[in-house]
Structure 1
Amino acid sequence: MSEVPPRLPPRDSGDAWVEGPDGRRYWGRYGAAGLLVHDRVAGILLQHRAEWSHFGGTWGLPGGARHAGESAVAGAIREAGEEAGVPADALAIAFTSVFDVGFWSYETVVARAARPFEPSIGDAESLELRWVPLDEVEALPLHPGFGSSWPRLRERLGETVRIVVDAANVVGSRPDGWWKDRAGAASRLLERVGALSAAGVAAREFGLPAGRIWPEYSVVLEGQARGAGTSSARGGGPRADGDASAGSAVTPEVNVVRSEGSGDDTIVAETERLTSLSWGAPATTVVITADRELAGRVAKAGAEVRGPRWLLDLLD
Structure 2
Amino acid sequence: MLNSEERKLIVKIAKLYYFESCTQEKIATKLGISRPVVSKLLQKGRDEGVVEIVIHDDRLETSDLEKELETVFGLQQAVVVPSRDLNQEQIYSAVGKAAAYVVLKSIKQAERIGVSWGRTLFHMVKEFPYEKKENLKIVPLVGGIGNDRTEFHSNQIAYELAKKMGVRCESLYAPALVETEELRDQLVLLPHISSVLEEGKLIDLAIVGIGNPLAMSTMEQFGYLNQDVLQELKMSNAVADLNSRFIDQDGVPCNHPINNKVIGIDLEQLKAVKLVIGIAVGEHKVDSILAALKGKYVNVLITDEFTATSLADRLKEVENLYAHLNVEEST
Which TM-score bucket, shorter chain as reference? under 0.3
Larger gyration radius, structure 1 or structure 2: 2
User: TM-score under structure 1 normalisation?
Assistant: 0.23
More strand, by proportion: 1
More helix, by proportion: 2
